[in-house]
Chain A
């Protein structure tokens, strides 16, 4: 049968400019460029191109450009090109379609329908260049009240505080495992986190020895595969996160193919080299909230109650009561991962169709925790599709304490969102273990860029606060009065707890 499958992209090469240096062949991990030495002819496998743009930027004469393929099926509003291609792919393979990065369907973004307030006359805006502007955020359990002993001018604390993470900016690097991404990517984020005074998550793949110097700025993860989990690992990090689910694939587990389990990964994950690393869908020791509570306290016991324990869940329909249960079960923070969250590998059907937008999830979890009077028991960390400082500000105004950024961090490291992370062939040295490809990411340069991104967003956050007439991020938290909705329906406004613009 004819494979009537138009390519997504076409590779155009300016023949005049091309000097036949063959560099593009070495640069493209997907085998698009081919040169027949005998016939002295180029062949481009357009159907394999993923538009990572690596070859285009590495070509010494800038001869290459990658374009969207003009060849498409006859247009149809329901049977879109993508739908038809998916069906054909599955008819060919009989398999689940695998993909990577975040949800690709054009769902509306609530962040883009929320606008921030600004001061005019009655309350002066504040210039962050002249006045102090504070972004520091503490993540963890807070007491209901503090007891203070006072004598004349001396003042002494009598309440014992639970362990908290101190963030100089309310933005952290999300959990992405070593194995799904390279050690160079991990190192870049670890250094940046330490430099800026925030944290990065290890993901479920353990902590490589090269990360030890930054361990006080690293959050370790305990996921259903329990890779790398041992006492030293737990004690080494600054906090522990139990991953129940993730926004890109709620309700399902993970799978790192054996061929990616190199010697170093096998050592870090504590599994045999070459064996598949399977994370089951549920934790096989957690079938209820009581079981979760037991794990939380087991981890706290193991670390002598010195490390906060977070629990991460995907934002699903019932997220509010689940989050309340998690906080009541003893978690110091609940991490909510929205349906736009990225991933290194996920079945497309899960990535695109499960879960709810993070904006709605933050609003309802914050509201429910307040209604139950336990908002201070734990922090809310939001993740999944945070693209800019404005998204951060809006997430905080909706009720989050801090956010995790994953995709944005990778983009800072050079990722072009080609969505081929699951192939292990990342052309930019990020989502790969290939020693040659890994050389493409210099951890020093990576750290500089990742730190720059945090600094730039922090700077913008300060400007946003200044415009709002606030000089501290905590006065924005859950301050939904400073948000207005544009073009949102009444039930949506009610869920988000914001008024429509003009009201």
Chain B
């Protein structure tokens, strides 16, 4: 049963949390909701959300598009575009309950789609199917007024809205889904409008990001991404984190650890002290990805279908705690959120500034020492 919350905290910030079941066993949404509720002091109710991986096993091979529509016209126009670009295997409304805290402003629909073979010689089909879907997502977000793709990965989905995370969870019936990886976010927005699309998690393909803080290098990062064909919609500075991981890991083939080196690199002084060949590699990464480097106070959790990564800015200006138990790995803004759902913690620690904590299915969780 969901607790009803009232917001009493005075100090408000964003809060984030994540759970990955190392063996890929699917867990109901209940625990992530409890983690989220534990950090209620950090939110102000202007945005909350969840992402779950493994929630659509029956449609696992299709892209699951979660869409927000402001009205029927936006929905019709989007469906026209979808029919032109992809094959829709199934579509349905995302099941929702009415909650009084959140006025139901949007039509929320999901589409399971695939890219038929015959589309592969199309102009929009660059090299990979993922790029084709990315292009589709950007086209909907950019060109169709009142339509927004909340998530576009396979066997996963994002549930978010303007409201407290618990109300969002109740509205979307998050407790009914089962996922092997969950992340959550509650928002205290200071810099971007509190619209549904602006809530976290922010998603593209399999990448989802929740973020606490501010990306002060946003302008630099955005221009770098735009030069690589990404379109930033200015809804939240978080989007650049998702796109940067997509660019560095999916498109350019860097490992998660190396991508983290590029995004939160050690200081030059540290690099100079490194032995070869590490020093050359780190120098080259910093030189090449100087515009991808994330600056400003932040803690983020990034997920894709088999990995959950926690990352802090280079001087750790936002909290992030990691923990592991027999079969789960946890990341959260606050230790209390982890203790709320796990009694048998084997290890709990505060990762160092700039070091990524990488949890992967079937592997031990590791804090990669890059700083």
Contact = CB atoms under 8 A, between A and B. Distances in A.
Nearest to A367: B223
A478 B287 contact: no
A134 B285 contact: no
A31 interface: no
A155 B278 contact: yes
A277 interface: no
A156 B268 CA distance: 18
A474 B216 contact: no
B284 interface: yes
Interface stretch (A12-20, A119-127, A286-294): A119-127
Contact of B216 (A131, A164, A469): A469
A268 interface: no
18 contacts: A122-B190, A132-B267, A132-B269, A134-B268, A147-B253, A148-B258, A155-B282, A156-B281, A157-B277, A161-B287, A370-B223, A470-B216, A474-B290, A474-B293, A476-B217, A478-B224, A479-B217, A480-B219
Contacts of B285: 146, 148
Interface string B274-315: 000110111011011111010111000000000000000011
B44 interface: no
Nearest to A376: B288
B106 interface: no
Nearest to A135: B268
B239 interface: no
Contacts of A366: 223
A449 interface: no
A474 B291 CA distance: 6
Nearest to B218: A481
Interface stretch (A136-144, A228-236, A419-427, A453-461): A136-144
A375 B226 CA distance: 11
Interface in B219-275: 219-220, 222-224, 226-229, 248, 252-255, 257-258, 267-269
Contacts of B254: 145-146, 148
B284 A131 contact: no
Contacts of A156: 277, 281
Contacts of B191: 122
B280 A123 contact: no
Given A123-B296, A142-B287, A146-B285, A375 B227 contact: yes
B29 interface: no
A126 B267 CA distance: 15
A468 interface: yes
B52 interface: no
B317 interface: yes
A208 interface: no
Contacts of A375: 224, 227
Interface string A61-98: 00000000000000000000000000000000000000
B213 A123 contact: yes
A157 B277 CA distance: 7
Q: Kindly state the interface size class of chain A when it binds its partner.
A: 35 or more
B214 interface: yes
A482 interface: yes
Interface in A365-405: 366, 370-371, 373, 375-376
Interface string B158-173: 0000000000000000
Contacts of A469: 214, 216, 295-297
A373 B228 contact: yes
Contacts of B267: 132, 134
Interface residues of B, number: 45
Contact residues of A: prevailing secondary structure = loop
Contacts of B288: 142-143, 145-146, 159, 376
Nearest to B237: A481
A497 B314 CA distance: 28
Contact of B220 (A126, A132, A134, A478): A478
A157 B284 CA distance: 8
A136 B286 CA distance: 11
A301 B311 CA distance: 44
A123 B315 contact: no
Nearest to B271: A136
A143 B290 CA distance: 12
A442 to B, nearest CB: 34
A226 interface: no
Nearest to B251: A145
A73 to B, nearest CB: 50
Interface string A353-370: 000000000000010001
A307 B360 CA distance: 43
B295 A150 contact: no
B69 to A, nearest CB: 29
A471 B228 contact: no
Contacts of A161: 284, 287
Contacts of B226: 370
B291 A478 contact: yes
A155 B277 contact: yes
A4 interface: no
Interface in B107-124: none
A477 B220 contact: yes
Contacts of B278: 154-155
A150 B216 contact: no
Nearest to B222: A481
Contacts of A164: 287
A477 B284 contact: no
Given A123-B214, A145-B253, A470-B296, 16 more contacts: A119-B216, A123-B213, A132-B315, A143-B288, A145-B252, A145-B288, A146-B289, A148-B285, A156-B277, A156-B281, A370-B227, A375-B224, A472-B293, A475-B296, A476-B217, A478-B291
Contacts of B248: 145
B170 to A, nearest CB: 29
Contacts of A136: 268
Nearest to A478: B223
Contacts of B257: 150
Nearest to B281: A157
A132 B220 CA distance: 20
A428 to B, nearest CB: 37
Contact of A123 (B216, B220, B223): B216
B171 to A, nearest CB: 28
A234 B212 CA distance: 51
Contact of A146 (B229, B269, B284, B291): B284
Nearest to B279: A157
Contacts of A475: 216-217, 220, 293, 295-296
A126 B227 contact: no
Contacts of A477: 220, 290-291
